[in-house]
């Protein structure tokens, strides 16, 4: 007999070689019908995997993230089988599950696979799924695996296998199909009831631009057709909210091939929007005791060698800038933190002067492959709302909590109410990914967990997601469509202070090492604006809108009255403009609605005579005729509801 510990702490005994499905059946038939994957002692297993030792077992259904991962990974196998049957000679490479669905990278050879082929591929996938073929794992020797793929002339799988250790190689079989695979599948193909292929893209083998470009096919699948229908509706909503589309329509930003890929150009309305976001945060930061600093866009290579960024990212970044002086190299700034360390180092400090809080809207540059660029969410030049706090170890807890308060204030003012916090820790199995001592890591990790607990955050712990120099607290925000985004991050760092030999004089008159906190509530202005655009569908909070109101004159006769209203609004610091074109009032209203201007103020004969404005609210309709003073109060009250004082 073996002892199986379940997530609730209960322990049950089962005969040796019992499977996760046997355990599920012992709990309830309903659970057994819904279980599609499992984890044993932290390792993903199949529901049919024999359990031979005591251990901890977690059962996953479609409602669990791990269950979806197994479902979508299994669906990728079905896609691969369909492609092999429809396109003889196609070479398979890798097919993982992703956040929403799965993809498979293939080399189609002389054939081409495009979106017009999707219906036939989907039909073939569903035909395979209906066969209810079991997924079965089997171990193979390295020689057997190499022989299998050499006979298929699949150099991609051969390359993968050559990097694996003999004794660790497994295949997954279902129907007539076999694939190199580590595991993590649903019981059988019949659970897949609905499939949709979404798009194709080019992808370099192993992400290297020097390798051959493959065809990547993205798809998604569900256990019920209804769920696919709902998802496709969500996709249509997402298309309407695409920040690239809205950014163009609202004239916020653009891109130019002459300027370069991934380098956004902010148009006047977008620049004004950025400025308001920056001023909003600067005002809160000033109250929180931050001081603004400015650092250059480049730095000597040695700066980033000292910080450790060059060793981690140097090869994948922009190439060094060489000066006329022999041997002198500069890099485009990939991070602000090394510069801020040197600002701190500009003079000696006493413990009485700490904490020092340096803030900067600093533009940084990171080389992203062209295939990875996406509107404002993935760019090569972006501005971080960066700040670094240098404090004593005794101050760390209070400072970290104060930063949490600031992040929550930012979210609340911008309508992000649905979020979880993610405590990102290092991977104990892969210490080579990180710099710094175990002692410093343990102190930093515990400080973050304690702060998250004491602030009452809804948090999860993710092992292996830490930055290379320290653990962090990431805020995962759900937008209006239920999509999850990482926004805002706080990181504790004992390592950079050591690397830059930062110090302060303590009460004992000895030199001590400060602790460093990295924080960025927005993350980057570019990405934040993109997510905010999609979350609000361009209907920003009133305090942030480029134009808060538009004055629509019924005819040219009322232009002077429109200008008088505009002047009055300016006295109340309400951002407005006039539309006095020779167009019908109906057309003016429709265009103002399309431009998402919050308030339309209609002026004509009655309004001029009564000294009023007829107010119409975007998406809601007429509010009636009121004075400009009364309208100003409406605007003030709406702003105060969202933009609280920090």
Cα gap 228→103, rounded to integer Å:
17
Other beta carbons within 10 angstroms of residue 364's beta carbon come to 17
Tokens, residue 412: 């609340």
Pick the catalytic residue: 337, 395, 527, 535? 337
Tokens, residue 179: 């694939």
| Known catalytic residue at 366 | yes
Pick the catalytic residue: 81, 285, 384, 422? 384
C-alpha 163: how far from its chain's center? 31
Nearest residue to 612 via CA among 635, 592, 598, 629? 629
Pick the catalytic residue: 174, 309, 388, 426? 388
Cα gap 538→268, rounded to integer Å:
16
Nearest residue to 467 via CA among 443, 445, 498? 445
Other beta carbons within 10 angstroms of residue 446's beta carbon come to 12
Pick the catalytic residue: 77, 366, 596, 618? 366
Radius of gyration of the chain (CA): 29
Cα gap 422→452, rounded to integer Å:
9
Helix 268-287 and helix 525-536, axial crossing angle in degrees, nearest 10: 110
Cα gap 463→466, rounded to integer Å:
8
Pick the catalytic residue: 386, 474, 479, 579? 386
Tokens, residue 594: 């399309």
| Known catalytic residue at 472 | yes
| Known catalytic residue at 386 | yes
Pick the catalytic residue: 472, 519, 535, 588? 472
Cα gap 123→135, rounded to integer Å:
20
Residues 6+ apart with CB under 8 A from 140: 148, 169, 170, 171
N residues, the chain: 646
- Pairing, β 504-505 against β 194-204: unpaired
| Known catalytic residue at 341 | no
What are 477's strand-pairing partners? Answer: 419, 485
| Known catalytic residue at 225 | no
Instruction: Please give the sequence-ordered ranges of beta strands (E in DSSP) within 426-510, or none if there are none.
Output: 459-463, 472-478, 484-493, 504-505
| Known catalytic residue at 105 | no
Nearest residue to 368 via CA among 216, 264, 266? 264
Residues 6+ apart with CB under 8 A from 370: 261, 262
Q: Are 371 and 204 in contact (CB under 8 A)?
A: yes
Q: What are all long-range contacts of 238-243, with beta carbons under 8 Å and residues at least 24 apart?
A: 238/481, 238/483, 238/534, 240/537, 241/480, 241/481, 241/533, 241/534, 241/535, 241/537, 241/538, 242/375, 242/534, 243/375, 243/376, 243/377, 243/529, 243/530, 243/531, 243/533, 243/534
**Is the C-alpha dihedral spanning 297, 300, 304, 307 positive or negative?**
negative
DSSP H or E stretch at residue 172: strand 170-174
Pick the catalytic residue: 73, 216, 340, 518? 518
| Known catalytic residue at 337 | yes
The residues that are catalytic are 337, 366, 384, 386, 388, 472, 518
């Amino acid at each position: 007999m073996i002892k199986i510990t379940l997530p609730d702490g209960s322990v049950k005994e089962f005969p040796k070689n019992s499977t996760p499905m046997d355990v599920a059946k012992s709990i309830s038939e309903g659970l057994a019908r819904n279980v599609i994957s499992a984890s044993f002692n932290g390792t993903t297993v199949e529901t049919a995997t024999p359990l031979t030792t005591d251990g901890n077992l977690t059962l996953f259904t479609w409602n669990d993230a791990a269950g979806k991962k197994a479902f979508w990974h299994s669906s990728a196998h079905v896609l691969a089988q369909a492609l092999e049957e429809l396109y003889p000679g196609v070479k398979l490479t890798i097919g993982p599950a992703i956040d929403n669905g799965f993809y498979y990278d293939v080399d189609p050879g002389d054939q081409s696979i495009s979106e017009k082929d999707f219906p036939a591929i989907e039909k073939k996938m569903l035909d395979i799924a209906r066969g209810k073929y079991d997924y079965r794992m089997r171990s193979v020797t390295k020689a057997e695996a190499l022989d299998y793929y050499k006979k298929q002339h699949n150099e991609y799988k051969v390359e993968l296998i050559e990097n694996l250790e003999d004794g660790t190689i497994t295949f997954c079989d279902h129907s007539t199909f076999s694939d190199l695979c580590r595991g993590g599948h649903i019981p059988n193909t019949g659970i897949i009831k609905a499939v949709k292929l979404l798009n194709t893209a080019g992808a370099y083998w192993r992400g290297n631009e020097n390798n051959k470009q493959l065809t990547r096919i993205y798809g998604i699948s569900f256990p019920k057709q209804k769920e696919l229908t709902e998802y496709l509706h969500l996709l249509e909503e997402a298309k309407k909210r695409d920040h690239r589309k809205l950014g163009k329509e609202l004239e916020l930003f653009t891109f130019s091939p002459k300027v370069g890929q991934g380098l956004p150009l902010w148009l006047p309305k977008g620049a004004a929007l950025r400025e308001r976001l920056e001023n909003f945060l600067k005002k809160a930061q000033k109250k929180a005791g931050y001081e603004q600093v400015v650092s250059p866009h480049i730095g000597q290579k040695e700066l980033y060698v000292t910080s450790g960024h060059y060793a981690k990212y140097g090869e994948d970044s922009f190439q060094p800038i060489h000066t006329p002086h022999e041997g002198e190299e500069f890099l485009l700034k990939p991070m602000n933190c090394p510069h801020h360390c040197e600002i701190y180092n500009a003079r000696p400090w006493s413990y009485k002067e700490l904490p020092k809080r340096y803030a900067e809207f600093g533009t940084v540059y990171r080389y992203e492959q062209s295939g990875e660029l996406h509107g404002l969410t993935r760019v090569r030049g972006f501005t971080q709302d960066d700040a670094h706090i240098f404090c004593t170890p005794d101050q760390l807890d209070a400072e970290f909590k104060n930063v949490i308060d600031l992040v929550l204030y930012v979210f609340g003012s911008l309508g992000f109410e649905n979020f979880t916090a993610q405590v990102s820790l290092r991977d104990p199995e892969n210490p080579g990914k990180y710099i710094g001592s175990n002692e410093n890591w343990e102190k930093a990790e515990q400080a973050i967990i304690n702060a998250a607990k004491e602030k009452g955050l809804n948090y999860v712990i993710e092992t292996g997601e830490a930055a290379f120099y320290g653990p962090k607290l990431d805020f995962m925000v759900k937008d209006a469509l239920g999509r999850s985004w990482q926004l805002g991050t706080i990181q504790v760092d004992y390592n950079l202070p050591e690397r830059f030999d930062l110090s302060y004089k303590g009460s004992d008159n000895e030199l001590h090492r400060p602790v460093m906190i990295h924080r960025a509530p927005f993350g980057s202005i570019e990405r934040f604006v993109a997510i905010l655009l999609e979350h609000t569908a361009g209907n920003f909070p009133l305090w942030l809108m480029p134009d808060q109101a538009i004055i629509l004159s019924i005819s040219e006769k009322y232009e002077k009255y429109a200008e008088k209203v505009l002047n009055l609004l300016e006295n109340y610091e309400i951002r407005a403009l006039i539309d006095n074109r020779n167009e019908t009032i109906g057309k003016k209203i429709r265009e103002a609605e399309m431009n998402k201007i919050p308030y339309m103020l209609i002026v004509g004969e009655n309004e001029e005579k009564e000294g009023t404005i007829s107010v119409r609210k975007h998406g809601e309709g007429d509010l009636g005729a009121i004075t400009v003073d009364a309208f100003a109060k409406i605007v003030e009250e709406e702003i105060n509801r969202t933009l609280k004082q920090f």
